[in-house]
Amino acid sequence: MNDADLPTWTHDLAQLFNASWGVLLPQTVSARVDARLANLATIGADGAPEARGVVLRAADPARCTLDIFTDATTRKCDEIAADPRAALTLWREDVLLQLRLRGTIAIIEGPMAQDAWAGLSDSALPDYGVTPKPGTPINAPDAYTRSPDAARFAILRMTVDTMDVVSLNRPTHTRAFYERRDGWRGQWQAP
């Protein structure tokens, strides 16, 4: 394969930016694509990074936001409440694209989260209502209960401020950095 065989979006800043959001767009509760799984990093109570796998649930390129569902009593919610800065990394094998996103997260609960709650499957509802709360030490692997609790459901809505995008298509890798504050113009970087 030579550069002429590469997707055109790998060598055009605007197309690469749009392709990056395109990778995120199919994120819905029922979508089954690799980009649903991402790593979210927050700032822990001790100032050290905390990372965990999450499932992306929605993307809105017009607002530059991504949604993640969680139990409101998780440690990540405490971390976000203390410092909303976060980073999210994901890899799409099918298009050989890595996205590294930074921004801030707002925690959405109560009536503003109810439409999303209503859209969850019956099998997913008990994930938001584990007792004792997630991360609590227990004496046995099954020493907890699961019971749906709408009051424990939260949406983590990340407003994306920067995107570091790396295309690993061969023979030429490309990389671009985008910032919301400059209108997402983009700047090529060495991969």
Contact 154, 107 (CB under 8 A): yes
- Considering its fold, how many domains does the chain have in total? 1
Question: Do the domain assignments include residue 41?
Answer: yes
User: What are the distances in angstroms from CA 175 to CA 17, 83, 96, 118, 188?
Assistant: 11, 29, 12, 39, 6
Question: Do the domain assignments include residue 157?
Answer: yes
pLDDT score, position 95? 87
Helix (H) or strand (E) holding 23: helix 13-24
Query: Which pTM was predicted?
Result: 0.90
Question: Do the domain assignments include residue 129?
Answer: no
Q: What is the pLDDT along the chain (191 residues), one digit of tens a residue?
A: 455 556 778 889 999 999 999 888 754 444 455 557 899 999 999 999 999 999 999 999 999 999 999 999 999 999 999 999 999 999 988 889 999 999 999 999 999 999 999 999 999 999 999 999 999 999 999 999 999 999 999 999 999 999 999 999 878 899 999 999 999 999 999 99
pLDDT score, position 1? 46
pLDDT score, position 28? 47
Q: What is the CATH number of the domain that holds 90?
A: 2.30.110.10
Question: Do the domain assignments include residue 132?
Answer: no
Question: Could you list the residue range(s) of the whole structural domain that residue 182 is in?
Answer: 3-124+150-189
pLDDT score, position 33? 53
DSSP, collapsed to helix, strand or coil, labels residue 135 as coil
Alpha-carbon span 176 to 30, nearest angstrom: 30
Contact 165, 97 (CB under 8 A): yes
Dihedral of CA 63/67/73/79: which sign? negative
Question: Do the domain assignments include residue 89?
Answer: yes
pLDDT score, position 29? 46
User: What are the distances in angstroms from CA 49 to CA 41, 52, 63, 88, 103?
Assistant: 6, 10, 26, 12, 15
